[in-house]
Amino acid sequence: MNNLFFFLLLAASIESPTAADGSANAYIYAGCSESRYAPGSPSQINVDSLLSSLVSASSSTPYSNLTSTAASASFPSFGLFQCRGDLQPSNCADCVRSAVSSISSLCPFAAGAAVQLDGCFLRYGNDSFVGEPDTSVLYKKCGASGGGGYGPDQIGIRDAALSALTGGGGNGGAGGYRVGAAGYVQAVAQCVGDQSASECDDCVAAAVGQVRAACGYAVSGDAYLGKCYARFWTAKGVEKTLKRTKVLTHKFLSSNDLLLY
Ligand SMILES: *[C@@H]1O[C@H](CO)[C@@H](O)[C@H](O)[C@H]1NC(C)=O
Ligand SMILES: *[C@@H]1O[C@H](CO)[C@@H](O)[C@H](O)[C@H]1NC(C)=O
């Protein structure tokens, strides 16, 4: 309980990072399963082996899913990582290493866990979540509100930037990294590489719907779903007010048993 509260505060205190200038290793959220394996068990060996294989793979590919049966085929551990599409391989590997180290300290012995850093997402579990679509909202945040608008046609400009992410019209295909821009607003979306092009479209459309609905006159908005996210932000200097960033949703729904920190 104390730990949960601590990590909620930790996530809420982080200012909205942007893909443009945020550190790739900046923490967004993490979740751990309630079920845990016994220290020293075959499950632990499988998980440890899986995580180190994911770190190794991340220096040569922005996405990979792996299965570990290193100690025992009876307790397989499934895992994947997805780096943001604009990261260099060395930054991807650095991010995944940092994600593994967050998971190890936040979720010791967890049968399943997920962590989202600014530049990468990593998830593992003993259930086969790989390849499944997942549009449940895990984390949603709006930046400071310009109350009534900080620029002419603010909503129209934001929506133009966001619409470049959806409908397959954006750049990137399956597991694609998509960017949009209009006026002073920029937007990005990223799917996890296990999604088909149409699953990615559906997920990004759902994420865009979440930020549109929630973040009216905000200078930024982020929605992280199970298998994708969409974010927008406003060029520095346009925002006039400094109201606190609002965290609207912060939970790992019961999908595969994970609790969000
Ligand atoms: C995952 O591991 C936990 C802890 O060992 C166990 O309780 C649970 O039944 C396992 N789930 C599956 C699908 O194997
Ligand atoms: C990666 O995921 C695909 C789709 O679920 C699956 O067929 C494949 O076996 C996985 N690869 C590994 C090494 O787990």
Tokens standing for residue 228: 């994708």
**Which atom of ligand 1 is found nearest the CA of 125?**
1
**Residue 103 contacts by C-beta under 8 Å, 6 or more apart in sequence?**
30, 32, 51, 110, 113, 115, 122, 124
Say if ligand 1 is within 6 A of residue 43 CB. yes
pLDDT value at residue 235: 78
- Confidence at residue 238, expressed as pLDDT on a 0 to 100 scale: 57
* pLDDT for residue 68: 96
User: What integer pLDDT is reported at residue 10 of this predicted model?
Assistant: 35
- pTM of the full structure: 0.84
Q: Which two tokens stand for residue 210?
A: 């979440």
For residue 191, the CA-to-ligand 2 centroid distance in Å is 17
Structure confidence at residue 217 (pLDDT): 84
pLDDT in tens, 23-43: 999 999 999 998 999 999 999
Residue 200: the pLDDT is 92
**Positions of the chain with pLDDT lower than 70, given as ranges:** 1-22, 146-151, 167-175, 236-261
Cβ of 2: how many Cβ atoms within 10 Å?
6
- Residue 133 three-state SS: coil
According to the model, what pLDDT value does residue 5 have? 28
Q: Is the CB of 111 under 6 A from ligand 1?
A: yes
**Contacts of 215 by beta carbon, 8 Å cutoff, 6+ apart:** 142, 143, 221, 232
The values of phi and psi at residue 19, to 5°, are -60, -30
At residue 16, the pLDDT reads 38
- How much is the pLDDT for 2? 29
Domains of the chain: 5-132+252-260 (3.30.430.20), 144-243 (3.30.430.20)
Of 32, 33, 34, 35, best ligand 1 pocket probe by most atoms within 8 Å of the beta carbon:
35
Residue 46 Cβ inside 6 Å of ligand 1? The answer reads no
Sheet harboring 220-225: ordered strands across? 177-182, 185-191, 228-234, 220-225, 137-142, 246-250
Give the pLDDT confidence score for residue 191 in this predicted structure: 95
CA 132 to centroid of ligand 2, rounded, Å: 11
